[in-house]
């Protein structure tokens, strides 16, 4: 099969489009012919400097396609079904073999390209806001990187839960496209902490979804309300600055690190069911996925470069 691989980590141009052996479908697994790959933020971080399971290495957390083979012991999947899968690595390929328990059958009529974009962004957003953030109706949520996959998902989920939603983005154009947003904050042209205070009457945000880290995370601490909860997803901003966590104490604020993969392992029934509900909501148009661009798999380097340019609004897909 064909795959986008690399032999060392680094800039997007480390990718090579090569023939690699087909994966074997083992017990408890399904083999999927991949039709769409959603590039996640963690994919770019791993390519830039993450651990490599093999050489050549195939990066990637999430993809969707058609079930080609079902392994021994799997009774709830069948050949011909459309499914989306998550995995530690390997999505940037024409085929993947994954545990059946980390797949979801797509609802009838749901476009496979849209289904490929759901589990990690919507699952992460849900955990940030509700499982760990305890967001309630009438409270205020601040969503950083609102034009990204987790951001667009979190805005929708927070708004339908009855929260007031603020979001940051790098341009007024992106903010104008974010729906159903209450207030947008251009972090490049202004102070997002001051803007949050202004929009909340000086109180601050009850829940903050921070996928940027570094100096932004320090600002999130300042922007949080008394007893505010910050869901720290990662360091997409690649800012190595370490915020002063002592600033949490006067306001009895908390930061929780969020990693969907760990929760999937430790509390699989809850997470699997939650993501399944989001797929069903997407199929009936109760939620939406925004796809910015599609690239052929052989152009993985260009696709990763575009994601890292911060121009994208929504998801960037690779198509084998």
- In the chain, domain spans: 2-117+289-319, 120-261
Comparison of pLDDT for 32 and 234, the residue scoring more: 32
For 236, the token pair is 């997409």
Q: d(Cα 65, Cα 46) in Å, to the nearest integer? A: 23
pLDDT band at 179 (very low <50, low <70, confident <90, very high): confident
Q: What angle do CA 156, 87, 47 make, to 5 degrees?
A: 90
112 touches 65 (CB < 8 A): yes
pLDDT of 130-157, one tens digit each? Answer: 999 999 999 999 999 999 999 999 999 9
List, in sequence order, the alpha helices (H) in 179-259.
192-199, 215-223
Whether domain 2-117+289-319 has CATH 3.40.50.1100? no
Digit-coded pLDDT (tens) for 80-126: 999 999 999 999 999 999 999 999 999 999 999 999 999 999 999 99
For domain 120-261, give the CATH number.
3.40.50.720
Do 126 and 274 meet the contact criterion of CB atoms below 8 Å apart? yes
């Amino acid at each position: 099969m064909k795959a986008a691989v690399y032999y060392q980590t680094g800039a997007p141009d480390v990718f090579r489009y090569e023939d690699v052996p087909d994966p074997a479908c083992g017990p408890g697994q399904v083999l999927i012919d991949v039709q769409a790959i959603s590039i996640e933020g963690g994919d770019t971080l791993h390519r830039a400097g993450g651990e490599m399971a093999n050489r050549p290495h195939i990066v990637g957390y999430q993809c969707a396609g058609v079930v080609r083979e079902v392994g021994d012991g799997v009774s709830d999947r069948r050949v011909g079904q459309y499914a989306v899968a998550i995995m530690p690595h390997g999505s940037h390929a024409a085929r993947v073999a994954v545990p059946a328990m980390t797949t979801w059958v797509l609802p009838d009529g749901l476009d496979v390209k849209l289904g490929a974009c759901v589990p990690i962004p919507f699952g992460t957003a849900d955990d940030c806001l509700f499982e760990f953030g305890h967001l309630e109706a009438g409270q205020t949520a601040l969503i950083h990187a609102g034009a990204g996959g987790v951001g667009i998902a979190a805005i929708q989920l927070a708004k339908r839960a009855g929260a007031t939603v603020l979001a940051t983005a790098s341009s007024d154009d992106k903010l104008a496209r974010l729906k159903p947003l209450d207030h947008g904050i251009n972090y490049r042209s202004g102070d997002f902490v001051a803007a949050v205070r202004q929009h909340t009457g000086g109180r601050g945000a009850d829940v903050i979804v921070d996928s940027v880290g570094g100096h932004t995370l320090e600002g999130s601490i300042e922007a949080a309300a008394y007893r505010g909860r910050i869901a720290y997803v990662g360091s997409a901003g690649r800012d190595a600055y370490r915020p002063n966590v002592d600033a949490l104490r006067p306001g009895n604020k908390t930061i929780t690190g969020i990693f969907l993969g760990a929760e999937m392992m430790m509390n699989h029934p809850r997470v699997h069911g939650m993501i399944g509900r989001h797929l069903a909501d997407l199929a009936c148009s109760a939620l939406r996925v925004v796809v910015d661009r599609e690239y052929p798999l052989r152009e993985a380097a260009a696709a990763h470069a575009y994601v890292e340019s911060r121009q994208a609004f929504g998801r960037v897909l690779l198509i084998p």
